[in-house]
Amino acid sequence: MPSAPAANPSERRGCGLSVFAALCVVTMAMLVPIAAKAGPARVVSLNLCTDQLALLLLPRDRIAGLTHLAADPGLSALAGQVGRIPLLQGMAEEVLPLKPDLVLAGAFTTRHTIALLRARGIPVLEIGLVNDFDDIRAQIRQVAAALDETARGEAAIAEMDAMLAAARRADGPARRLRVLSLAPGAFTAGSGTLYDAVMRAAGLDNYAAGKGLAGYGYLSVETVAADPPDLLVAGTDEGRHPSLNGQMLTHPALTHAVPAGRRPVVPGRLWTCGGPFTAEAVAGLAAARDRLLAETVFDEGRVSRRPGSEKE
């Protein structure tokens, strides 16, 4: 029985090319869903806190714009990382030409701008305020997921948690120190605030919360001077904006009650917004705690200097 004629070389090459082409088509079809899952390529932030989350989680070439506050070193903990990223005032007329595929905003960001962007079909992710470190972790994960940067988010959380663990005092003192954060005008933060969470993470009691303040409010100089805290964080905005309200923080009665040696400097940019950098505020307070405990004797409410400790 005659055998079938063997295929000539040109036919074999044609068949091989056809198979290769088919494989390429299948491979490209498989890659399309992967590409579709990639995070947004042009992200705009319209809030100081989302500015810092974008800087924390995104490569710079995926950030199309931030607020002008992002570059203010007195407000933003990541101001030095802004570089040449366009800075915005938050108006829709600025955002639309940037053609973002995601806009990050705060719960109180300009409502007219947000409404207009959504009307144009631009996705907007709004985030709320954070009041403790669990909130910070949840918010980082929320934004990281929206940006398709889960690994970066987890790395940031791990860095924060490591710093918090290092600041924790292994042997709790018999007497917990009280700390008060006081801004110009005697504005302060009580329980249920991020400031309160920072103080507790540093092993300290929030003086304002102990006075019954929940949320944000005011304490009089007379109250503080009559029953002074062990530590005072005086939020003077680093002297950039002097005011009559700010002069209250140097009132003679307050200075006498809590002298300079008990006023640790904790920049407001570390705890105005919540982020891994907020753990730096905890570390600063923990260091002040340890210094004061090392040089002070607490005996049934009476405070005295340890022999040999430096004068304030």
Distance of CA 150 to the CA centre of its chain: 16
Per-residue pLDDT, 63:
98
Separation of alpha carbons 149 and 147, rounded Å: 5
Same domain, 180 and 149: no
Kindly list the distances between the CA atom of residue 20 and the CA atoms of 7, 16, 23, 221, in Å, as whole numbers in the listed order.
Answer: 19, 6, 5, 81
Spatial contact of 245 and 45, defined as CB atoms under 8 Å apart: no
| Each residue's pLDDT tens digit, 162-218 | 999 999 876 655 578 999 999 988 899 999 999 999 999 999 999 999 999 999 999
Among residues of the chain, what percentage have pLDDT more than 90? Answer: 69
Q: How crowded is residue 162: how many other Cβ atoms within 10 Å of its Cβ? A: 12
CATH number at residue 141: 3.40.50.1980
Say if residue 182 is in the same domain as residue 157.
no
Please check whether residue 72 lies inside any domain of the structure: yes
Q: How many domains does the chain have?
A: 2
Between vectors from CA 226 to CA 222 and to CA 229, what angle results, nearest 5°?
A: 105
CA–CA separation, 224 vs 235, rounded Å?
15
**What separation in angstroms does the CA of 86 have from each of 65, 118, 299?**
5, 21, 57
Q: How many CB atoms lie within 10 A of CB 226?
A: 10
With a cut of 60, say whether residue 144 has pLDDT above it.
yes
| pLDDT value for 169 | 74
Asked whether residue 80 falls in the same domain as residue 198, the answer is: no
**What is the model's pLDDT at position 240?**
56
pLDDT band at 158 (very low <50, low <70, confident <90, very high): very high
Q: What is the pairing mode between strands 205-206 and 63-67?
A: unpaired
123: alpha, beta or left? (left if phi > 0; alpha if psi -120 to 50): beta
pTM (2 d.p.): 0.81
- 300 and 182 co-located in one domain: yes
Average pLDDT over residues 234-251: 64
Domain boundary among 164, 196, 223: 164
Which range has the worst mean pLDDT, 71-80, 117-126, 214-223, 245-254? Answer: 245-254
- Can you tell me the distance from the alpha carbon of 133 to that of 139, in angstroms, rounded to the nearest whole number? 10
The whole-chain average pLDDT of the chain stands at 85
Structural domain for 48, as ranges: 43-164
Indicate if 160 and 277 belong to the same structural domain: no
Q: What tens digit of pLDDT does each residue of 260-309 get? A: 999 999 999 999 999 999 999 999 999 999 999 988 765 545 555 555 55
Q: Does the residue 7 lie in any domain?
A: no
Do 155 and 218 lie in one domain? The reply is no
Average pLDDT over every residue of 221-234: 94
Q: Is residue 38 part of a domain?
A: no
Residues 120 and 208 in one domain: no
The pLDDT-based confidence of 18 (bands split at 50, 70, 90) is low
Final residue before a domain boundary, out of 145, 164, 183 = 164
pLDDT computed for residue 194 by the predictor: 97
Specify if 15 maps to a domain: no
Between 185 and 43, residue with greater pLDDT: 43
Instruction: Identify the pLDDT of residue 35.
Output: 40
